[in-house]
Amino acid sequence: MESHYLTVHELEELLREGETTSLEITEAMFRRIDAVEEHVHSYINLMKETALEAAEASDQRRRDGDALGPMDGIPIAVKDLLCTTGTPTTCGSRFLEHFVPPYDATAVAKLRAAGAVILGKTNMDEFAMGSST
């Protein structure tokens, strides 16, 4: 299964029907990132450890019949302008290269609360000003 070509709806259906697990999908996404990242430079930070932990937690909820909803176990990336607890948020700027927020942005907190698996932080123009990335 080439999960990177599937829609969120298709992934959710596979998870709901037990045809795959969030961990399998997440690992496949990281394999795809590893295969193409040197050419596309789409990620500023990958969050492999926390993503794999989140995927395992989602799989356990599904096994227990306690899925949080349609986003539970779905891998997603967020732009590097959204704060993520414990992971650098640079907004694409060297000025912020060492900033590690102690909190999640509201959008990130809502994604996590829904069970989404955050793969990492994607590249962007500095402070989202421009159109080169």
Task: Give the DSSP per-residue string, 24-35.
Answer: HHHHHHHHHHHH
pTM: 0.93
Cα separation, 62 vs 44, in Å, equals 31
For residue range 5-35, list pLDDT tens digits in order.
Answer: 999 999 999 999 999 999 999 999 999 999 9
Residue 70's CB is within 10 A of a number of other CB atoms, namely: 17
Closest CA to 99 of 45, 48, 60: 45
Contacts of 76 (CB under 8 A, 6+ apart): 111, 116, 117, 118, 119
More reliable by pLDDT, 4 or 55: 55
Give the ranges where 1-133 is alpha helix by DSSP (H): 8-16, 22-40, 48-63, 106-113
pLDDT at 133: 63
Q: What is the pLDDT of residue 81?
A: 96
> What band does 122 get if pLDDT is binned at 50, 70 and 90?
very high
Q: Which position has the higher pLDDT, 54 or 133?
A: 54
Q: In angstroms, how far apart are the furthest CA atoms of the chain?
A: 46
Per-residue pLDDT at 42: 96
Structure confidence at residue 3 (pLDDT) = 86
